[in-house]
Structure 1
């Protein structure tokens, strides 16, 4: 009898659909009397309703051509979700969500998934995880403009949400937010955290936490440039050599927080909502920082033959498949840089711990190929540096992550395609060095100068070392730190700063930045350290022998060579395959592309033979090279003159002064 009644109900629903009596179908399940009569039969026909009516009808074509029919089947699908077998219907919904072709289809099946997950409760968290993963999979499959991954500037970021594909992406995120709110409230009400040790196993609360954090990852993370705080330095502004108080360095972050309630973009609203909800589930927003260090420093050795798989870990937050480090990095970027840290956050965490733990996340973000993620890594690093109240001790450098971080940061600073990214990278590198105590500053600068190949950064770091020593020289009533005088000062200057890589044969144009910085160092110390507090005057003879004498010869040789070549070109001697011209063309191409992959040899290398260029272009390249060499020679003469003048002055000051003595006559 019950089977017959259920079959009759199924035929009635189909008949009403054929007659387009949509109100009649609504009455079957929303009228109290009819619902009480029909509800007992729905479990028997739920999958038939889905397979015969909902699945074939919920298409983009129906949504466009027959919106009332689509809306009716959408409501019917939600009713089916209340009575269909959970496991079987979950599989159907997961497949449909991943394959959805529009926001309308996605929303319809997501509403049904919401009902199913509410019915599921906290049982079978693995099934809940699979369902939520299908939502993340669909988001990652959505098309985005190519420039979002390739990188864009601040002006483009202002118009980002006007792009149709990004509008669709944000519509998906907003739909997801609306659908998971009932689930979130149910979890917060019933899935309470244990008062003792935190339960990190596979349960509904932890699965949902990982899901929210994954939503902060790509593709949403690629849109974070629309929420950029004002740089601490304007273009062309020289950074100071003093560490500012945290309240000064954080002024722009605080301004961003003051504006948080006004004129937010959709990206900002979504990020704020996801971050706040994830923080509610975590309780302690800093909890994941300690786990990040565990994942980076003590990786588990997986051995399937011994039954050791990643999924056998009892801590769900340590599994990269469930919680990628990029997602954790974007969470802390949103919470710290975006000033979304709740007022109830624990105050016990030391700034040094936050700096060291977040450095792993910064390194991960900087190693990503997408410039927006690199921007986020730099801004996160800038923030954690700004909250340091004491110099970072040298012992912190024992962590391997500092080397990994410096490699990624210098690569971005030297070779990133966006100027804003390179400028921000240089600013962060400057603040990073200044954040440490003096011994650590010396250690960082010396190692970077020893290992870096980018001449521009090497020149900048040499100037930074000079500026740091200058700060201490200005404190005449205090002794110099050990690392800025004596043997360590000598080692820095002779091995890292005042260096001519290949003696007289050095390519001066390739190393022009570092050579110019070395000459400026030699112009500064004779004037600022006439008392020889650093020991500069003791090592000056070696500097003259290793740098100044061969550099003078190399400058004369290079200028004569380039000028002779220019005369040959003026006389009509086409020589595009000449070794010198080929090298200049390769250098020009490197400067334009910012690839940083110039050939070390005399020209062609792996890049092939560059096309021939005209006479005027050759002369222009040669004129630029000659101008660069002449500028370098001017600095060379200034440095030599400064050394000579101050050396003579020191000799005069050290000579004994003859005194007239009155001698009594006998």
Structure 2
């Protein structure tokens, strides 16, 4: 029935020009053809398409078979005999139909693909699309750009595989699609690279080049920005997304895009017409990914001049590092940390001039690192951030270290490991400012403001001492170190003239806080012991140091509370030692002053 209807439509239209075809002819042709294919009459449909007497009709209407052909092919197993017939029929349609109509029809199939069929559809239609586009000659630039953009948009719905097992499984077919995209774009890139001299004077070639560059930059943003691109050492299995990254950078070079200008001077990559239309070819994310590929993975690094100083390489990468650290995805954050680390490792310790801190990103990026340490839920990234933060401080010269410490807001940093580290580092640097070392930045009047920042409690006497115990111990150890190392009669650090303020703002509030905390925890211990005597040992939760602990028995609660008291005793013992030093050395100063009088 469907075949007879299809033949009637063909007979009615035979001999007519396309202009005389009616809309109902197209509708009936498509409907009848689809039913024929669904009924398994693919051999009969193929005979009609290959009939030389029906070529005009097929050229005008053949693309209407695409929807049914694609659907039938996708639902066939690879071993199904009919699949080969469907593919042959599709190939005949590609050869005989209007190329412009075919481009639209093929893209419609890609756009309409469901998520579970996206990769299958793309893998099926990329080769036919390439054949059709090559038939368009010099007028294909817009169509090539539209095809690449449509395919990437559809692929962006698929998750990016992140580990070796996921690459190998390629559950959603993204890796296969990326490899197929390289083969699809290759002849068009070759066409531009082989005619590089005529591109600038040829609008069609120039437009094609721009469309291909846009494809490369979009690929840098997806899937490469979110992909794990490390190559596992001595692993014969090549990371397909890493291969794709290498091909994309190769395309950029073949298209005449200078990697140097793109990464260092991104504003120069914006052509006037792009600025006028607001259509910038490169986003900061794509350039950040490009910088990561160059300086971390060393893909394409041979094309990057090795004449720039490490500090300059760090400077222009700071913008990209900042962008990457502001993202929350593990894959993107890890790229930002890796790029930062690799740039810092090129520098010698104490070689980064303090003037660099006048550049915005040299202060804002460390603050972004602190946010990662504070807010990132992924433990290994928090740990890595702390390591890189320490590495950054190591690279700064002494004046730069001082200025960075002055800019750090100690009381607004919540991550418990950061402030103790900073205080320990300050203690380390001050050691080189005492007798035998020439360092004016961590001694005298310059050091005093830093000391008042370091020797303070976030919330005065009401500070949670248990939660801030690491910070408090680091502050006390710093103070004790200064009192021991800095002779009272030399007072190189200024600590002895600032003792009254330090006592008022730090030591006295700490005493008060310790008394209140110990009284509170001793009362809790007494209450728990009474419960234990009554053999009343309910399982309940307890909050210590601002953190809710798992449910525990009374016996377990007592152990936790005793541990808290031990921490307070430790703090108190260091505090007592400090007060003893102040009393002994302070008495010596008073006697010296009396003797002078």
Equivalent residue runs for 1:379-390 within 5 Å:
379-388=338-347
Select 1:141's aligned residue among 157, 176, 180.
Answer: 157
SS of equivalent to 1:227: coil
Equivalent residue runs for 1:396-475 within 5 Å:
396-450=356-410, 452-456=412-416, 457-473=418-434
Q: CA deviation at 1:349?
A: 4.0
Change (3 A) 1:54 1:273: same
SS of equivalent to 2:544: helix
Corresponding residue for residue 447 of structure 2: 489
CA contact 1:60–1:102 (8 Å) conserved in 2: no
Change (3 A) 1:624 1:618: same
Moved more, 437-446 or 74-83: 74-83
SS of equivalent to 1:213: helix
Separation of aligned partners in 1, 2:353 and 2:137: 49
Is 1:161 matched up with 2:161? no
Corresponding residue for residue 252 of structure 2: 278
Moved more, 187-196 or 346-355: 187-196
Corresponding residue for residue 629 of structure 1: 568
Select 1:335's aligned residue among 270, 281, 294.
Answer: 294
Corresponding residue for residue 246 of structure 1: none
Separation of aligned partners in 2, 1:54 and 1:106: 14
Separation of aligned partners in 2, 1:534 and 1:540: 12
Q: CA deviation at 1:412?
A: 0.9
Separation of aligned partners in 2, 1:23 and 1:90: 21
Change (3 A) 1:227 1:506: same
Separation of aligned partners in 2, 1:543 and 1:521: 13
CA contact 1:74–1:108 (8 Å) conserved in 2: no
Separation of aligned partners in 1, 2:135 and 2:297: 36
CA contact 1:526–1:642 (8 Å) conserved in 2: yes
Change (3 A) 1:294 1:416: farther
Separation of aligned partners in 2, 1:634 and 1:280: 70
- TM-score, structure 2 normalization: 0.78
CA contact 1:497–1:514 (8 Å) conserved in 2: no
SS of equivalent to 1:499: coil
Separation of aligned partners in 2, 1:47 and 1:653: 109
Corresponding residue for residue 182 of structure 1: 187
Separation of aligned partners in 2, 1:616 and 1:327: 57
Separation of aligned partners in 2, 1:382 and 1:103: 36
Q: CA deviation at 1:423?
A: 0.9
CA contact 1:50–1:77 (8 Å) conserved in 2: no
Separation of aligned partners in 1, 2:178 and 2:585: 68
Corresponding residue for residue 227 of structure 1: 230
SS of equivalent to 1:467: helix
Select 2:517's aligned residue among 555, 558, 574.
Answer: 558
Corresponding residue for residue 249 of structure 1: none
Equivalent residue runs for 1:202-241 within 5 Å:
203-224=207-228, 227=230
Separation of aligned partners in 2, 1:158 and 1:650: 68
Separation of aligned partners in 1, 2:328 and 2:85: 45
Change (3 A) 1:542 1:328: same
* 1:362-406 per-position Cα deviation (integer Å, ceiling 9, x unaligned): 111111121111011100111122223683333433333345423
* 1:481-526 per-position Cα deviation (integer Å, ceiling 9, x unaligned): 3x212222000011x1001233323221232232122112123223
CA contact 2:369–2:389 (8 Å) conserved in 1: yes
CA contact 2:455–2:475 (8 Å) conserved in 1: yes
Equivalent residue runs for 1:566-581 within 5 Å:
566-572=525-531
* 1:584-622 per-position Cα deviation (integer Å, ceiling 9, x unaligned): 385237xx9xxxxxxxxxxxxxxxxxxx97545644543
Select 1:587's aligned residue among 532, 544, 547.
Answer: 547
Change (3 A) 1:261 1:314: farther
SS of equivalent to 1:267: helix
Is 1:504 matched up with 2:478? no
Change (3 A) 1:202 1:283: closer
Corresponding residue for residue 514 of structure 1: 471
Change (3 A) 1:266 1:640: farther
Unaligned runs of 5+ in 2: 1-10, 19-28
Q: CA deviation at 1:583?
A: 5.4
Corresponding residue for residue 24 of structure 2: none
The number of aligned residues is 555
Corresponding residue for residue 328 of structure 2: 369
CA contact 2:473–2:571 (8 Å) conserved in 1: yes
Report the aligned-residue RMSD: 4.5
Moved more, 414-423 or 112-121: 112-121
* 1:333-371 per-position Cα deviation (integer Å, ceiling 9, x unaligned): 122100123423234444334322221211111111211
* 1:33-67 per-position Cα deviation (integer Å, ceiling 9, x unaligned): xxxx96x9867624533322664344465432774
Corresponding residue for residue 602 of structure 1: none
- TM-score, structure 1 normalization: 0.71
SS of equivalent to 2:185: helix
Equivalent residue runs for 1:522-561 within 5 Å:
522-530=479-487, 532-561=491-520
CA contact 2:340–2:388 (8 Å) conserved in 1: yes
CA contact 2:164–2:239 (8 Å) conserved in 1: no
SS of equivalent to 1:63: coil
Q: CA deviation at 1:546?
A: 2.4
CA contact 1:103–1:172 (8 Å) conserved in 2: yes
* 1:426-482 per-position Cα deviation (integer Å, ceiling 9, x unaligned): 1111122333333332222222235633152222222222223334558x2x5213x
CA contact 2:369–2:385 (8 Å) conserved in 1: yes
SS of equivalent to 1:537: coil
